[in-house]
Amino acid sequence: MTPRRVLVAGGNGQVGRELARLADPARWELSRPDRSQLDLADEGAVRAALAQGRWDAVINCAAWTDVDGAESHADDARRVNAAAAGWLAQAARAEGLPMVHFSTDYVFSGTSEAPYAETAPTDPINVYGQTKLEGEELVMAAHPRAIILRIARVLSPHRTNFLKTMLALGAQRDQLSVVSDQTGCPTGASDAAGAALAVLEQMLDDPGRVGGIYHCTNAGQASWFELAATIFALAEQKGYKAPQLTPVMASEFKTIAARPRNVIMACEKLYRDFAIRLRPWPDMVAEVIDSLALPSPTDRNWK
Ligand SMILES: NC(=O)c1ccc[n+]([C@@H]2O[C@H](COP(=O)([O-])OP(=O)(O)OC[C@H]3O[C@@H](n4cnc5c(N)ncnc54)[C@H](OP(=O)(O)O)[C@@H]3O)[C@@H](O)[C@H]2O)c1
């Protein structure tokens, strides 16, 4: 079988790099232009990139992911998180290409104790969440064969994330205070990338299949404190320094953007429709720590 040709927008981020690592070259040919090669804030460039008849599918990993920075750069965040996602979806539909787009648990306020299903009402409490929600709405309105995977608290060996920040701080300090009253569902960039490829394969194999919104996190939940404790317990076995951890309330730890308090994602729909279930999050954390020493795939094949 000829490999499926996939345009990966924002493909040099955490999830994009894991897509590059996981995609079997016998089955997938990924093109991952970076920002200098395809600026998603440029509508004409986005439409031109897709209108070349070169692709079988599109994955959009691009986003403004600086949650605090989005508060003072709402227009910039909105352009990539909402407008560009909509342009990609419109162009993908015009070309007849299935699309996978990533969104976030931050479309919810986190005030519910119960797990959130895909049908739960959205109510973002920061600019990042609001612009990602607008992106979801534009993608769903533009493309009946778009799949939105809502992921959360993404961890990987690449770029900046909570795991890498904890290890860096742990190396410098003997004591760390970590927020213990905000709970969520960690997601490995590798697990999100694997799910995207598995979903896309099923969409490509069945042209009659329609899209929709899916929650896609690793199994289980954790507060930031619990996540940090597991990170250091596993990292210590690998020779990293582990500081003493102190739980603190979010109210004692001011951030520019408000964060949801408690977002537990119910992921049964992904299993029901696509037979995809992600492993428990501690297994993913262990794998990320193991892979920190490995080189990060930054090679690109954008032509
Ligand atoms: N990170 C998380 O904790 C988290 C949580 C929930 C959901 N998500 C969602 O998951 C998806 C993937 O996240 P991630 O962690 O992989 O993100 P990431 O590491 O921040 O990567 C985002 C990528 O988008 C690119 N990008 C941003 N603006 C662009 C533009 N105008 N033109 C071209 N490229 C642009 C970035 O380019 P540069 O390399 O030039 O910066 C980067 O490569 C996103 O939709 C995000 O909203 C992430």
Q: Which ligand 1 atom is nearest residue 62's CA?
A: 24
Q: With 70 as the cut, is the pLDDT of residue 297 above it?
A: no
Per-residue pLDDT, averaged over 108-117, amounts to 95
Nearest by Cα to 180 from 148, 222, 147, 219: 222
Q: With 90 as the cut, is the pLDDT of residue 295 above it?
A: no
Nearest by Cα to 288 from 17, 4, 1, 7: 17
Between the CA of 63 and the centroid of ligand 1 the distance, in Å, is: 4
What does the pLDDT look like over 164-187, one tens digit per residue?
999 999 999 999 999 999 999 999
Among this protein's residues, is 271 annotated catalytic? no
What does the pLDDT look like over 3-42, one tens digit per residue?
999 999 999 999 999 999 999 999 999 999 999 999 999 9
CA angle 198, 200, 205 (to 5 degrees): 100
Nearest by Cα to 65 from 98, 125, 106: 106
Q: Which CATH superfamily is domain 4-155+186-220+263-279 in?
A: NAD(P)-binding Rossmann-like Domain (3.40.50.720)
Does the beta carbon of 90 lie inside 6 Å of ligand 1?
A: no
Lowest mean pLDDT among 56-60, 157-161, 282-286, 298-302: 298-302
Does the beta carbon of 130 lie inside 6 Å of ligand 1?
A: no
Does the beta carbon of 41 lie inside 6 Å of ligand 1?
A: yes
Q: What pLDDT was estimated at residue 298?
A: 52
Does the beta carbon of 145 lie inside 6 Å of ligand 1?
A: no
Plot region of 222 (φ>0 → left; ψ -120 to 50 → alpha; else → beta)? beta
Instruction: Tally helices (H) and strands (E) across the chain.
Output: 11, 12
What does the pLDDT look like over 188-242, one tens digit per residue?
999 999 999 999 999 999 999 999 999 999 999 999 999 999 999 999 999 899 9
Q: What pLDDT was estimated at residue 51?
A: 86
Q: Indicate the DSSP class of residue 31.
A: E
Between the CA of 47 and the centroid of ligand 1 the distance, in Å, is: 19
Q: What pLDDT was estimated at residue 254?
A: 86
Between the CA of 154 and the centroid of ligand 1 the distance, in Å, is: 11
| 154 contacts 189 by C-beta, under 8 angstroms | yes
